[in-house]
Structure 1
Amino acid sequence: MESTESETVRKRKKEAMEESKTEFRDKANNEFTEEETEMNFSGSEDMELGIACIFEKVDRFNHLVSELLESGKSLFSRLTNEFEERVLMIHKEQIEKWQEEIKELRLLDATNEEMNTRLVNAKCLLQNINASH
């Protein structure tokens, strides 16, 4: 489900970038056409070359933004995985420590119970010896 959502987001971003690029070109061409009509001259080769250079810059910029988005997404995904692994490892270590503490407490309790039983038995023996004298 997550990959479907991320793919949908990626498609939307790509479509938005394409729309932006197309809108930019259309707007630039419309402005150029309006200016050309107002001034009654056709564009020179230098101007056409300048416009083509700007379009190339837009394409390179869009490509750069796309790469940045992908690398950022990849970085965050990797960091998320590392964070999740680390938290799970810390959790496992802490649970193991507490289990070891429980084991030690049970061992201590068993030892105390054994000692208590021996003390009760010794007390009974002493009372029997005192009662017989």
Structure 2
Amino acid sequence: MESATNEASRKRMKPDVGDKQEDHISNGAVMEEITEKEQSEAIIVGSEEMELNISHILEKIERFTQLVSELLESGKSMFKELSDDFEERLIMIHKEQMEKWQEEIKELRLIDASNEEATALLSNARFLLQNPFSES
């Protein structure tokens, strides 16, 4: 009886194994179809996700480009202001120095004129001292 039960079990198992192989083959085909669909959906989802990531990167590029542009304009403006201030200050320094030197020249001329007067007085005094009787 036991051998009959074992034999029946084997017979049942064999068709089950065969059925499983057939099921496995048909399930494999179904799984392939599902996998292909999932892959194509994953590609689509991946593509949408990729496009979103690319879009974010492009937005970052645009913001960065705008920032660089603003910094360039700001820098140009600052350099222009600095350049104008530098030029103005340099001209002012030049003007002040020229005024100082003009004042020195004026003082030297006054000293020279005073020296000439003193020299003339001394010459006259020397002449008088050397020739005390010539006026008589």
TM-score after normalising by structure 1: 0.63
Give the corresponding residue for 1:76: 79
Of 114, 117, 122, 2:117 maps to 114
After TM superposition, list the pairs within 5 Å mapping 1:87-126 onto structure 2.
87-126=90-129
Q: Tell me the distance in 1 between the aligned counterparts of 2:77 and 2:107.
A: 45
**In the alignment, is residue 59 of structure 1 matched against residue 62 of structure 2?**
yes
**Which structure would you say has the larger Rg?**
2
Q: Tell me the distance in 2 between the aligned counterparts of 1:129 and 1:55.
A: 108
Q: Tell me which amino acid in the other structure corresponds to 1:82.
A: D
Q: Tell me the distance in 2 between the aligned counterparts of 1:128 and 1:44.
A: 122
In structure 2, runs of 5+ residues without a counterpart are 1-38
Q: CA deviation at 1:124?
A: 1.8
**In the alignment, is residue 48 of structure 1 matched against residue 37 of structure 2?**
no
Q: Tell me the distance in 1 between the aligned counterparts of 2:98 and 2:114.
A: 24
Please give the secondary structure, in 2, of the residue aligned with 1:129: coil
TM-score after normalising by structure 2: 0.62
Q: Tell me the distance in 1 between the aligned counterparts of 2:70 and 2:52.
A: 27
Q: Deviations over 1:41-69 (max 9, x none)?
A: 33543332222111111110110110111
Q: Percent identity?
A: 63
Q: Tell me the distance in 2 between the aligned counterparts of 1:56 and 1:106.
A: 74
In structure 1, runs of 5+ residues without a counterpart are 1-38
